[in-house]
Structure 1
Amino acid sequence: MGHDGRWKASQAQGAKSVTDEIIRVTQPDLPPLEEVMPYLEEIWRSHRLTNRGAFHEQLETALCSYLGVEHISLFANGTLALLTAMQALRLTGEVITTPYSFVATANTLLWNDLTPVFVDVDPWTLTLDPEQVEAAITPKTSAILPVHVYGHPAEVDELQHIADLYGLRLIYDAAHCFGVEDEGGSILRHGDVSILSFHATKVFNTFEGGAIVSPNAKTKQRIDYLKNFGFANETTVVAAGINAKMNEFQAAVGLAQLNHVDDAIDARARVEALYREKLARISGIRCHIHSSAVRHNHAYFPIFVDEDYPLTRDELYFHLRDAGIWGRRYFYPLIPEFPMYRNLPRKSEGDWPNAYAASKKVICLPMYSRLDPTQITRVAETCIDGGGLV
């Protein structure tokens, strides 16, 4: 049964939903097993498991076509892709980035012996505030590392202007942005490189996986050397590379997934629309709405618990949890608040007021393509119950 069929069937079932089942924050999409089996049979026949096999090459080509980009390099995971991108661009010194992200964004800087400089985000987009970025530039700054948060693009034109003005590299953590487009096309075309994650929790997954989108063939070639130990050919190593290659099984899963990703995104759009409808009358629950995208992927559904809601964010979070609804306070705490970052030159949370406020208010509600209307209603009614509206 397709996504539309499941949606209509679940609507018809109404009160038959099981109210004591756990609704998790996400559930990975999987292609039909019968579509994956021919790929596995070919892998077993060829004994080609990795090192730019046929499925790896096919997936690179297919993703370039789907995403509307010219050059893409596949990786075993998104963190390795981000690590390698920094090596490829030969960054040094300080990199300006956001405190409001998953910790891997900043961890990859430390792995490259770079110093993260955290600046505040815009209160509406929750992406890097360009004015704060420009104010933080020093002679040691080599790059800007923005994050497209929840699939919503950063201020790409302003950030590019700043990067050009000061001669800085611009690397986008686009882990949330598979398939997202602005008025000019793919959001992945911006900056020096963009990094994708194909982790199981993402809109498009290869179980684990990731990619770097490059602006030209020369950059892609250096990245491809770096992800394979630095080998340029059988006898020549040109850089201190690592082993970050995507294997044939991951690539095969990706090829099968790609046939269904549009259906999954459409289903997520319906989930989001119903959430917004159900939550609209709850005072103190605010849905994130700001985005310059013209094509969304509906990767996440964050809500923000404001002061006029009867419960605090954490009280609502645990109220949902007690009801078997596992949301996520994503992103909380801020990256600079983790113990491992306390030895870095840091400011207080008062210097990131917008990021800090968002981290204290956010809950990402369950979001995945198979989430049905009865489950969405259950989540919304639990929020209503928490607000004392029943």
Structure 2
Amino acid sequence: MINVTKTFLPPQAEYNAILKRAWDAGWITNRGALVKELEEKLKAYLQVSNIIATTNGTLPLQIAIKALGLTGEIITTPFSYVATTSSIVWEGCTPVFVDIHPEYLTIDETKIEAAITSKTTGILATHVFGNPCAVEEIETIAKKHNLKVIYDAAHCFGVAYKGKSIFEYGDVSTCSFHATKLFHTGEGGALFANDSELFNTLFYHHNFGHKGPESFQGIGINAKMSELQAAMGLAVFPYIETIIAARKRVAELYKNNLQVTSLMKLRKGTHWNAPYYPVLFETETKLLSILKLLNNEKIFPRRYFYPSLNLLPYTDKKSCPISENIASRVLCLPLYHDLSDDEVLKICNIINEGL
């Protein structure tokens, strides 16, 4: 069976050796030594100002909305994972969808201003498949209209844009360390913010609002990463460069052997991390026929992202024709560290013959 992704598991003895430190200390959660060590390693590797490790990648979005005091309408993209939209609705705000750029697949920055109303308080945009949004243009718009900016950077571990970590852009950036990601802690995620006061607010929000053991700075929730998760992250961390290089090798094989090309155009100045390999078919019918051929061979790519989020039942279903069209025709092919050349070529041959 070849799935769309496969979790990288470090040697179990290495994980157990790190985990033993938590056992010996008798400290399993509440920001133990392993969490703090992981944060420091990631901060150095990613070249970011600060980081808060969290228990998953969705709570950071909800915490960011809360910490920035967003209310009313939040402009967002319809081409993302459901967590982007659901977090807005969960926090009592209204998602206002702006269609995407047909090549970069990120929110179309030229259409944002037309969607701004007196109720708009923020922009929540997604860097898609490791491809950055037009961050400079979005920052200009946000400053002009006094809006806050959150980036869902779930796919962006290790991505840099114009020589700077993608996590350094916006008021807040978030990331996912889910088991399907190229860096993972089993379940997990992170929050990033450059402003020290905002970072402090994010920090107490992620830990029940604690200001010391017996006082509270404000409202909070439990988003803390456990020592068990951090141990996995510390065990995976030494292999990051190997993982990314292996994934780029697979992506290059697809590029050189498929008769259908990668859907996505990388924004100039992007240091890419090869998190996904999306391809676009001429029609949804053709996609479904190719998908059936692959499934018959026990190969399981993913329709990612599908459906376009503006069609979710708890949204106003505003038309976003570019996102809807691309979402209906895009397929992410299997991509992981130990996918063999023979397996990649088999996938290519099945697709090419079915076109």
- TM-score of the superposition, structure 1-length normalised? 0.88
Residues 1:294 and 2:270 are matched in the alignment: yes
Deviations 1:239-261 (Å, cap 9, x if unpaired)? 22111100011111111111101
Query: 8 Å contact 1:70–1:216 — kept in the other structure?
Result: no
Take 1:295 and 1:132, find their aligned partners in 2: how far apart are those partners? 26
Query: 8 Å contact 2:163–2:269 — kept in the other structure?
Result: no
Take 1:144 and 1:38, find their aligned partners in 2: how far apart are those partners? 43
1:366 corresponds to which of 330, 334, 337: 334
Q: Which residue identity is paired with 1:319?
A: L
Query: 8 Å contact 1:73–1:211 — kept in the other structure?
Result: yes
Query: 8 Å contact 2:131–2:270 — kept in the other structure?
Result: no
Query: 8 Å contact 1:323–1:382 — kept in the other structure?
Result: no
Q: State the 1:290 CA deviation.
A: 2.8
Residues 1:303 and 2:279 are matched in the alignment: yes
2:231 corresponds to which of 252, 256, 260: 252
Q: State the 1:286 CA deviation.
A: 4.7
Deviations 1:82-122 (Å, cap 9, x if unpaired)? 11111111111100001111100011111110100011000
Query: 8 Å contact 2:255–2:261 — kept in the other structure?
Result: no
Q: What residue in structure 2 maps to residue 109 of structure 1?
A: 88
1:55 corresponds to which of 22, 30, 34: 34
Q: Which residue identity is paired with 1:151?
A: G
Residues 1:312 and 2:286 are matched in the alignment: yes
Q: What residue in structure 1 maps to residue 312 of structure 2?
A: 338
Deviations 1:197-250 (Å, cap 9, x if unpaired)? 000111100000000011033222211111111111122112221111000111
The equivalences for 1:27-176 within 5 A come to 27-176=6-155
Take 1:83 and 1:264, find their aligned partners in 2: how far apart are those partners? 30
Query: 8 Å contact 2:307–2:327 — kept in the other structure?
Result: yes
Give secondary structure in 2 for the equivalent of 1:340.
Answer: coil
Q: Which residue identity is paired with 2:311?
A: E
Q: Which residue identity is paired with 1:42?
A: R
Q: State the 1:291 CA deviation.
A: 2.7
Take 1:136 and 1:232, find their aligned partners in 2: how far apart are those partners? 39
Take 2:111 and 2:180, find their aligned partners in 1: how far apart are those partners? 31
Q: Which residue identity is paired with 2:4?
A: V
Take 1:294 and 1:94, find their aligned partners in 2: how far apart are those partners? 30
Query: 8 Å contact 1:152–1:292 — kept in the other structure?
Result: no
Q: State the 1:160 CA deviation.
A: 0.6
**Unpaired segments ≥5 residues, structure 2:** none
Residues 1:382 and 2:353 are matched in the alignment: no
The count of corresponding residues between Structure 1 and Structure 2 is 355
- TM-score of the superposition, structure 2-length normalised? 0.97
Query: 8 Å contact 1:153–1:292 — kept in the other structure?
Result: no
Give secondary structure in 2 for the equivalent of 1:329.
Answer: coil
The equivalences for 1:9-20 within 5 A come to none
Take 1:148 and 1:189, find their aligned partners in 2: how far apart are those partners? 13
Give secondary structure in 1 for the equivalent of 2:279.
Answer: strand
Q: Which residue identity is paired with 2:338?
A: R
Q: What residue in structure 1 maps to residue 165 of structure 2?
A: 186
Q: Which residue identity is paired with 1:158?
A: E
Give secondary structure in 2 for the equivalent of 1:78.
Answer: coil
Query: 8 Å contact 1:77–1:208 — kept in the other structure?
Result: yes
Query: 8 Å contact 1:152–1:293 — kept in the other structure?
Result: no
Take 1:347 and 1:216, find their aligned partners in 2: how far apart are those partners? 34
Deviations 1:258-285 (Å, cap 9, x if unpaired)? 1101100000010000111111xx2x55
> 1:286 and 1:70, CA in 2 relative to 1: closer, same or farther beyond 3 A?
closer
Q: How well do the aligned residues superpose, as a CA RMSD in angstroms?
A: 1.4
Q: State the 1:339 CA deviation.
A: 2.2
> 1:105 and 1:142, CA in 2 relative to 1: closer, same or farther beyond 3 A?
same
Give secondary structure in 1 for the equivalent of 2:257.
Answer: helix
Query: 8 Å contact 1:75–1:211 — kept in the other structure?
Result: yes
Larger CA Rg, structure 1 vs 2? 1
Q: State the 1:185 CA deviation.
A: 1.4
Give secondary structure in 1 for the equivalent of 2:149.
Answer: strand
Q: Which residue identity is paired with 1:254?
A: G
The share of aligned pairs that are identical, in percent, is 41
The equivalences for 1:241-280 within 5 A come to 241-279=220-258
Take 2:15 and 2:183, find their aligned partners in 1: how far apart are those partners? 15
Give secondary structure in 2 for the equivalent of 1:377.
Answer: helix
